[in-house]
Amino acid sequence: MEGYHSTVLLNEVIDALEIQDAWYLDCTLGDGGHSLEIIKKGGKVIGVDQDPQALERVRKRFEQEGIDKSKFKLILGNFRDLENLIKQRDTDEFKVNGVIFDLGVSSLQLESSERGFSFMKDGPLDMRMDPTLGVRALDLINTGGRKELYELFKNLGEEKYSWTLANSIVSARQVMPITTTRQLVAVIEQSARGRRGEIHPATRVFQALRIAVNDELGAIEEGLDQVVKLVEKNGRIIVISFHSLEDRIVKNKFKSWEKEGLGQILTKKPQMASESELNANPKSRSAKMRIFKKL
């Protein structure tokens, strides 16, 4: 449907879930692409997202598609709180046939300049997926010491020039607080002094700030620990990640589950987008999908 973005690895996810007339859990609802297809294939969906804008958008999308309201439940919240969120909706013990996590930032969030996720658009340096969170990216940039910023960019952005960038930011904010994406990009570009690789020099700094503001890595750990209890026997847990830090957590978690005898890993190596999908949707380039089967 016009206005909605291409869903990454859609066919691969649907094939892996082996949809039945049962409940499925979409932990990162986003634009609702995976959920919509699950419902069309005969399943029912609990969709979770911490962004109220995403929930409202999907509610309208499902309405336009004529989806029966008994086929879905939409829940506002972070997937790290899944058990509590579901208990609030269903008092009985609730089990699902499959789970999907499509991690990272959504296209809708990236394209909204006032959310501050993209270095390509000028807006307030915010980056909160949940607008009620207390700390924004500008708080980290303007209050973090050199060492804190260096560690943030190095550990969460895997940025090679972390120390140089941390120094440049601390120097720049002494003249004027850095409150917009454009200001931060200008400092980074000046610091990079024409040093350009395949990606923009601000890419990893923005990634690090977004992960820190939303505690994304902590949320993935906690969310995975909860879904493994919620999935029925033979149900699939599918995770699509977009950078190595996320993928490492998923890979290690699946390995530990297999050792504990909770099930088996169905993807020896992560599944990647096909050539035709890459041509149609370049953002799928970095997507890696791993699948675990609960036993």
Q: 10 Å Cβ neighbour count for 63?
A: 10
Residue with tokens 């035709």: 276
Residue 170 has pLDDT above 90, yes or no: yes
Task: Judge contact between 119 and 181, C-beta under 8 A.
Answer: yes
Q: Rounded to two decimals, what is the model's pTM?
A: 0.92
Tell me the pairing of strands 44-49 and 72-76.
parallel
Domains of the chain: 10-108+216-294 (3.40.50.150), 134-213 (1.10.150.170)
pLDDT tens track for 94-119: 789 999 999 977 777 777 888 899 99
| CB-based burial label for 182 (10 Å; 0-12, 13-18, 19+) | middle
Task: Judge contact between 79 and 219, C-beta under 8 A.
Answer: yes
Question: CB-based contacts of 52: which residues, under 8 Å, 6+ apart?
Answer: 76, 131
Rounded to whole angstroms, what are the CA distances from 77 to 33, 157, 229? 19, 25, 19
Q: What is the pLDDT of residue 93?
A: 66
Residues 204, 205, 209, 211, Cα dihedral to 10°: 10
Find which of 192-201, 218-227, 273-282 is predicted with most confidence, using mean pLDDT: 218-227
Q: What is the pLDDT of residue 2?
A: 45
Residue 1 has pLDDT above 60, yes or no: no
Task: Judge contact between 37 and 7, C-beta under 8 A.
Answer: yes
Compute the distance between CA of residue 102 and CA of residue 220 in angstroms, rounded to an integer.
11
Top-confidence residue, 285 or 239 = 239
Looking at residue 11, its amino acid is N
Tell me the pairing of strands 231-241 and 288-294.
antiparallel
| Residue in 64, 63, 67, 75 with CA at minimum distance from that of residue 38 | 67
State the chain's mean pLDDT as an integer. Answer: 93
What value does the mean pLDDT take over residues 109-133? 90
**Per-position b or e across 231-259, b if 16+ CB within 10 A of its CB:** beeebbbbbbbbbebbbebbbebbeebee
pLDDT tens track for 50-81: 999 999 999 999 999 999 999 999 999 999 99
Q: 10 Å Cβ neighbour count for 136?
A: 19
